[in-house]
Amino acid sequence: MSKKNTIALLLLTLLFISGCAQSPMATSFNITTQQQIQSVYHWDVVAEDTAEQLRLSFSTRTSLNGRCVYVEKKDDTIFGEGFRNMLVTKLVNKGMRVLDISDPSALKVSYHVQVVYHKEPLKQPRAGKTALLTAGVLVVREAFDQPWSVPGRIAAVGGALVALDLLSDGFRGYLYPKGPNTEIILTTSVVDNNQYILRKTDCYYVNFSDSWHYNDSQSSQKIKVVN
């Protein structure tokens, strides 16, 4: 392609981008991390974190100092049984008074697990690809925000197109092909006389094939993902 044709193509691209500049693009939240539970040891880590949060909360409230707690048995799943035993152990080891039998005077500790299935794997960017995309977008934005000359804008857009072209060439590698599609919401509560004293909610990824550990003892073969 000749130099004149290249410049003409860039000018057309510049006009196209300018005409579409007012149309907002769909975007996602900023990149964050979320832990994935894949072993019984991870259950123990979650129980330790939950017990420590309870201990800290109790230590900062004078009215709760010395109060007994009872961890309720409401979850019959494999995770629920294991997590309760781990949580009781952690609380006892931290010096808290834990009852084996429920008592009206005790603070009731309970937890609830909700399993969330996604039909499509969750999109997760590979390292480095996000920076490449961001660089291209910033170059285009600067081309319109700054009082540059027309040749300067053409050069800026050309640089952005190079970045986006590289991204396009490797677009299949931009996202992990098989991200997690199953999550759990774990909520722990402390109730005194029908009033919430503490409530803690955490989210974790889990393997789909292991999700029956958290879902009313259902067999993984019976689980279906729906819209």
Q: Give the start-to-end residue ranges of the domains of the chain.
A: 36-113+183-205, 125-175
> What are the pLDDT digits (tens) for 137-183?
444 444 445 555 555 555 555 555 555 444 444 444 445 556 678 89
More confidently predicted of 48 and 174: 48
> What are the pLDDT digits (tens) for 185-199?
999 999 998 999 889
> What are the pLDDT digits (tens) for 61-96?
888 878 899 999 888 899 999 999 999 999 999 999
> What are the pLDDT digits (tens) for 109-125?
999 999 999 887 666 55
SS3 per residue for the chain: CCHHHHHHHHHHHHHHHHHCCCCCCCCCCCCCCCCEECCHHHHHHHHHHHHHHHHHHHHCCHHHCCCCEEECCCCCCHHHHHHHHHHHHHHHHCCCCECCCCCCCCEEEEEEEEEEECCCCCCCECCCHHHHHHHHHHHHHHHHHCCCCHHHHHHHHHHHHHHHHHHHHCHHHCECCCCCCEEEEEEEEEEECCEEEEEEEEEEEECHHHHHHCCCCCCHHHCCCCC
Q: Tell me what pLDDT residue 121 has.
A: 66
